[in-house]
Amino acid sequence: MAEQQILAVTSPEIPGKRIVRTLGLVAGNTIRARHVGKDIMAGLRNLVGGEVTEYAKLLSESREQALDRMIAKAEALGANAVISLQFQTSVIMGGAAEMMAYGTAVVVEDQ
């Protein structure tokens, strides 16, 4: 049996689909702390310039985890899509930050 895929979009509508039921706000978050080894490498990279790949990877992993958690909540509500998806970050304390994904869980069908 094929697993149902939740469609997550940043737009308030999905072309070719009609929203038949709105289930409400869903959110997923993760809080990550920096690693001292990565801080050292990032500090060295800051001296020579270029992309700070250590932090880029940390942010990418945080986004994926927050998105996965949000989608799991949407599935639990019976949604097959999330519209108006947004990401937000905030500093929790020195060296730790939160990444949050949130949107509106909906049921859509083909038009």
Residue 22: how many other CB atoms lie within 10 Å: 12
pLDDT at 79 over 50: yes
Rounded to two decimals, what is the model's pTM? Answer: 0.82
**68 within domain boundaries:** yes
Q: Which residues contact 15 (CB under 8 A, 6 or more apart)?
A: none
Q: Average pLDDT in the 100-106 region?
A: 98
Q: What are the structure tokens assigned to 11, written together?
A: 């737009």
**84 within domain boundaries:** yes
Domain of 70, CATH number, reads: 3.30.110.70
Dump the DSSP string for 37-67. HHHHHHHHHHHH-S--HHHHHHHHHHHHHHH
Per the structure, the count of domains in the chain is: 1
Q: Average pLDDT in the 63-89 region?
A: 97
Residues 26-46: tens digit of each pLDDT: 999 999 886 655 556 556 656
> What is the domain range of residue 24?
7-31+61-110
